[in-house]
Amino acid sequence: MPRHTGPRLGIVRALGSGLTGLTRKSPGNRAHPPGRHGVLKRASRKSEYGQQLIEKQKFSARPPADRRVLRYTHLITKGYFHVELS
């Protein structure tokens, strides 16, 4: 898994405030979303797929807590385990 080496505050702003420990800076209250076209973005309701994709990106943006956790999540994504979310 490649590690993101770019600015992490933009990731925190884009994915929401649930990413504690990724940066020491606070995202603050900005008038527009992050990114080059953030001023032009309009607030719209995300589809269920879009919400799931954002949660997946949040999970991958966090640093792994343990090597075993990283290995387990890798095996889940490859399909070796079936995990039911209830």
How high is the pLDDT of residue 20?
66
Q: Are 61 and 36 in contact (CB under 8 A)?
A: no
Mean pLDDT of the chain: 75
Cα distances from 70 to residues 12, 41, 65, 73, 79, in angstroms, run: 21, 34, 8, 5, 14
pLDDT in tens, 39-61: 777 667 888 998 888 888 887 77
Q: Are 69 and 75 in contact (CB under 8 A)?
A: no
How high is the pLDDT of residue 30?
74
Cα distances from 65 to residues 43, 46, 70, in angstroms, run: 33, 29, 8
Q: Are 45 and 24 in contact (CB under 8 A)?
A: no
